[in-house]
Structure 1
Amino acid sequence: MISRPWSVHGGEGAVGRPSFVAEFGLWDDRRAAAAERVETQLGEVDLVRVVFCDPHGLARSKTVPAGVFRAVLRNGMDFSAGPFLFDTGHAVAVDFLTDPGVGVGELLGAGDFVLVPDPRTFQVLPGTEPRTAWVLGDEYLRDGSPHPLASRAVLRRVLGRYAEHDLAPVIGLEVEWYLTRLTGGTPGNAGNGFGLQGPAPAVEAMNSGYQFNLDGHYDSVAEAADPLTVLLAELGLPLRSMEHESGPGQMETTFAPMLALDAADAMLLFRTQVKRFCRRRGLHASFMTLPRLDSFDSSGWHLHQSVLSTKTNRNVFAATTDAPNAVPDAVPDSVPSAAPDAMSPEGEAYVAGLLAHARELCLLSVPTVNGYRRLGPEFTLSPTTADWRFEDRTAMVRVLSGGESTHVENRIGEPCANPYLTIASQLHAGLEGLTAGAPATRDAYPPLPKSLSEALDAFRAGGSAERLLGAPLKTCLEKLKESETARFDAWCAAERPAAGEVTEWEHREYFGVF
């Protein structure tokens, strides 16, 4: 028999090490029970995609046979540190040959980390052949400690702080994106390399666009949108609507409220499966904010937010006519009616936190050069200042008042942003407002950045980002975005594009990968 020193039983190489989960006590009872359920399903699948979210919000994965995954589930799986080192164009932005400078020694030499699947996220993908499942994982250093650059861990830490206050955030996703038709041509490898993106996919628009919810225009995308809607439901995502937005083939997909970590996981699964579904049908889905295509409109990601008291199961944002300044200790037999255009002081304090930190944390909701093209006066329903109003889509924070359904809609985000960092940053800002207790005012807040470079400067200068992310991840993101902006600036200096136009550089950088 041939010796296999790096086999699934040996614990080295590609599949972590034996009993990694048990050795470091990484699972609670819910995950352990979910793992047992997953093991009973593995006979029904052929392959498993083991996935994590990189700092840019892109899903990175390895595909393993189901038999191998039996070991991966409890041993973890080794992954290269590359996704933490690359900027959006896969230029090496974090030096791994000398001291990387981010405070994570295991990056030196691009050493592996261990990805541990979260069995609660295990999904069998409908209609796949071979039969394929998809599972999210959490990143750990080899000593069993959470990886300092893991974005899912950031959101978990924020949720832990909410739990200390007996609170649980609730998130609703409203996502705009583009559906286009591939027209063939080369695969885009000409001139491609690390930091040198080849041509973006060649596409054509699905229709003329510039209408709103016109039934006939929906029919022009229904060949993809209708079966996609069925797929999302089969994946267990709480889909509310699939709509045709304003641009040519521009879609909007909305989901029912979820707990925050579930919402972030759902966003990653949604984007990944939409792109997979479309690619296999000769279509291309893109979550780039503003593609370099004729007459395309900008896309946004509107994040709906509220906070529940875990003691009373009541929405702490809701204002009531007979108790406007207090959240009751228990759910009453009859809930008092809400005043029109009203929000509790706690809700206003949360909004104040969103506005006060909007400039410093903008980088985490609008992380690309292209995303800042949307935050301009030419796009009338996109925010240009840090402000709030009731039922006003021109404000950054739109407050929707309605008793227990009262919530805020932050309209700043772009649809390709990292869901864990976007949601964590807004919840972090809101909690800082809540704990400070000062209601939002109509006074001017610091202006929103007008470019990625300006957002990066604000991100560097403030202290809230480090409190949220920790010094290693904050420093790593700075290096990634410095590389991205430097490459863009160098291209612009050489090519001198017309002012205000979406550049070829942006289209190559973002349209395909996002």
Structure 2
Amino acid sequence: MGLNGDSYIERHGLWTDDQHKRAEEICEQIERDGLKTVRLGWGDQHGIVRGKTISAAQFMDSLKSGKDFQLVTAIFDTTNHPIVPPFGASNDLNIPEMIGLPDGILVPDPFTFRVLPWVKDTAWCLSDAYFASGNPCPLSTRQLLRSQVEKLAAMDFGMKVGLEFEFYVFRMLDPMLSPEDSGYPPTPPEVEMISHGYQYLTENRGDEVEGIMSYLQESLEQVGLPISTIEDEWGPGQCEVTFDPLPPVEAADAALLFRSAVKQLCRRQGFHASFMARPKVPNVFPSGWHMHQSLTNLSDGSNAFMAESGDDPLSDVGMQYLGGLLAHASGTSVLTTPTINGYKRQMPDSFAPSKAAWARENRGAMLRVIGRPGDPASRIENRIGEPTANPYLYIASQIIAGRSGIETKADPGEPAIAAYLSDRPDLPSNLIKAVEGFKASETMKAELGETFHNYYVMLKEFEINRFMSEVTDWEQNEYFEMY
């Protein structure tokens, strides 16, 4: 199939020459391998893959014209409640193109195309969201990250990101699919543990879960994800997967596919995987998302964080970037830890930081610095994130804060020794405080744009208000009998 001639993508100049070339290769692959179906996905505001499953022929047409898609999903909270009146007369989002909720257009990124080994004759491809005018949807987080990568490149820097995810795998007992369980949100599944817990990195415990772990590893590698390690973690059935370093957008794309794939693969084998930071299951240990990051010099690809000499573990650029992460810890918290539940990781000595502090090789600090003069693997590990975070926003928040640190020559101060006890600023301890920090950050507003900044505040405040209106188990236990 040829892709020449006038098309939406070509008319608006939405692809590079390399993307056009890759699209031609994909069409040949589809016909050669007899692929029948493609899942065309879009990473929404929560980092969840939404999209359409379309025929191979329809997908090849979308490589010219894009695919119509209902962008109403952009105004949904995590349970698909609209955060603004869908057909209100006023335009609370300040986006004229979304009045009346017309279709947007998903434009595939050919470089994300891959065949899914666990679904017959089916491929998967990520996309970017545009309007009919050819303008990008300002709520598209992938494009926000791409903008930050471009700003970083203007400073002659690239970036490497190392993903480190913790999550739980449970055995599914009852998926709770009866009509009365299909609510808004639905009743969560009933599960049991797949191993006993708190035997961290123990060979025998690892062998107990080898079956599902090997299946995950094989499938994830077949789909092209650069898995580095896959192992049992601290809690019962808690797992950790790490990736080889990737450029920022590729890392975020990989995170999106990884989380979606793990849940699908586990479900197909009778398990339930959850990236929830602190599930309400007895004897579980909270899960985090630790992000390793470093800048590279675009001129030669070398590590810009590597110190040549001196006492600091990182170069001047690296220390300034570190200072920026600390200075903007409050403003970026809602992007690294975006849920009510994520802040419940913060317990004493829980491996979840509570202070805006850095330290050398100290897992109690928000920022663990790994490096020394001459070490080409010098980097910063941010330990504040939760596994549910939107990967595009998490990574973009790091670039925004780090760039600001470089531009202002921010001083990170001295490293903390006892991170939880150090005299450093407290990190937001709940989502309400995180939203307040985000709202107060002029840097975040300027970098993300006022439209997205306002939208994200609305999104999170809607979630908070829904939570505050619920009667919790704690309230029932605390007050029902006493009063």
What TM-score bracket applies, with the shorter chain setting the length? over 0.9
**Which residue of the other structure, out of 72, 90, 99, is the alignment partner of 1:108?**
99
Matched, 1:370 2:358: no
1:213: how far off? 0.6
1:375: how far off? 2.0
**Gap regions ≥5 residues in structure 2:** 1-5, 416-422, 479-483
**Which residue of the other structure, out of 200, 221, 224, is the alignment partner of 1:236?**
224
Is the 1:138–1:150 contact (alpha carbons within 8 Å) kept by the matching residues of 2?
Answer: yes
Is the 1:375–1:450 contact (alpha carbons within 8 Å) kept by the matching residues of 2?
Answer: yes
Matched, 1:74 2:64: yes
Is the 1:176–1:300 contact (alpha carbons within 8 Å) kept by the matching residues of 2?
Answer: yes
Aligned equivalent of 2:402: 430
C-alpha distance in 2 between matches for 1:67 and 1:185: 35
1:494: how far off? 9.1
Is the 2:175–2:188 contact (alpha carbons within 8 Å) kept by the matching residues of 1?
Answer: no
Is the 2:400–2:444 contact (alpha carbons within 8 Å) kept by the matching residues of 1?
Answer: no
Aligned equivalent of 1:8: none
1:54-97: per-residue Cα shift (whole Å, max 9, x none)?
Answer: 10111102100111111112111111122211111221112222
Aligned equivalent of 1:183: 173
Pick closer, same or farther for the CA change 1:365–1:431 going to 2, 3 Å: same
1:333-371: per-residue Cα shift (whole Å, max 9, x none)?
Answer: xxxxxx7x6211111100000011111110001000000
Pick closer, same or farther for the CA change 1:496–1:27 going to 2, 3 Å: same
1:498: how far off? 5.7
1:442: how far off? 3.2
Q: Which amino acid aligns with 2:400?
A: H
C-alpha distance in 2 between matches for 1:185 and 1:158: 40
Is the 2:346–2:429 contact (alpha carbons within 8 Å) kept by the matching residues of 1?
Answer: yes
Matched, 1:301 2:289: yes
Aligned equivalent of 2:313: 342
Aligned equivalent of 1:280: 268
Pick closer, same or farther for the CA change 1:188–1:375 going to 2, 3 Å: farther
**Gap regions ≥5 residues in structure 1:** 1-17, 325-338, 500-514
Is the 1:217–1:244 contact (alpha carbons within 8 Å) kept by the matching residues of 2?
Answer: yes
1:219: how far off? 1.4
Aligned equivalent of 2:438: 459
1:107: how far off? 2.1
Aligned equivalent of 1:329: none
**Which residue of the other structure, out of 318, 339, 355, is the alignment partner of 2:326?**
355
Aligned equivalent of 1:150: 140
Q: Which amino acid aligns with 1:151?
A: T
Matched, 1:405 2:377: yes
SS in 1 for 2:295: strand
C-alpha distance in 2 between matches for 1:470 and 1:95: 22
SS in 2 for 1:183: strand
C-alpha distance in 2 between matches for 1:152 and 1:497: 41
Pick closer, same or farther for the CA change 1:254–1:185 going to 2, 3 Å: closer
5 Å matches for 1:11-160? 19-43=7-31, 44=33, 45-98=35-88, 99-129=90-120, 131-160=121-150
SS in 2 for 1:252: strand
Q: What is the TM-score when the length of structure 1 is the normalising length?
A: 0.87
* 455-464 or 180-189: bigger deviation: 180-189
1:219-277: per-residue Cα shift (whole Å, max 9, x none)?
Answer: 12111110211111112211110010011100000011111111001000111111111
Is the 1:166–1:309 contact (alpha carbons within 8 Å) kept by the matching residues of 2?
Answer: yes
1:497: how far off? 5.1
C-alpha distance in 1 between matches for 2:473 and 2:297: 55
Aligned equivalent of 1:509: none
Q: Which amino acid aligns with 1:227?
A: Y
Aligned equivalent of 1:482: 461
C-alpha distance in 2 between matches for 1:22 and 1:118: 13
Misfit runs of 4+, over 3 Å: 442-446, 492-495
Aligned equivalent of 1:251: 239
Aligned equivalent of 1:507: none
C-alpha distance in 2 between matches for 1:148 and 1:294: 41
Aligned equivalent of 1:392: 362
* 446-455 or 352-361: bigger deviation: 446-455
Is the 1:189–1:199 contact (alpha carbons within 8 Å) kept by the matching residues of 2?
Answer: no
SS in 2 for 1:353: helix
SS in 1 for 2:93: coil
Q: Which amino acid aligns with 2:275?
A: F
C-alpha distance in 2 between matches for 1:359 and 1:146: 29
Pick closer, same or farther for the CA change 1:460–1:498 going to 2, 3 Å: farther
SS in 2 for 1:492: coil
1:192: how far off? 4.2
Pick closer, same or farther for the CA change 1:370–1:188 going to 2, 3 Å: farther
Is the 1:188–1:200 contact (alpha carbons within 8 Å) kept by the matching residues of 2?
Answer: no
1:279-332: per-residue Cα shift (whole Å, max 9, x none)?
Answer: 1111111111011111011000000000000113221111123xx5xxxxxxxx
SS in 1 for 2:59: helix
Is the 1:355–1:445 contact (alpha carbons within 8 Å) kept by the matching residues of 2?
Answer: no
Is the 2:230–2:239 contact (alpha carbons within 8 Å) kept by the matching residues of 1?
Answer: yes
1:419-469: per-residue Cα shift (whole Å, max 9, x none)?
Answer: 000000011101110111233113965421111111111111221221222
1:189: how far off? 4.6
1:495: how far off? 6.9
Q: Taking every aligned residue pair, what percent have the same amino acid on both sides?
A: 38
1:27: how far off? 0.5
C-alpha distance in 2 between matches for 1:414 and 1:100: 32
C-alpha distance in 1 between matches for 2:256 and 2:178: 25
C-alpha distance in 1 between matches for 2:81 and 2:48: 15
Q: Which amino acid aligns with 1:447?
A: D
Corresponding pairs, count: 462
Q: Which amino acid aligns with 1:253?
A: V
* 302-311 or 202-211: bigger deviation: 202-211
C-alpha distance in 2 between matches for 1:30 and 1:215: 45
Q: Which amino acid aligns with 2:361?
A: E
If asked which structure has higher relative contact order (CA below 8 Å, sep 6+), I would say 1
* 182-191 or 390-399: bigger deviation: 182-191
* 208-217 or 365-374: bigger deviation: 208-217
Aligned equivalent of 2:412: 440
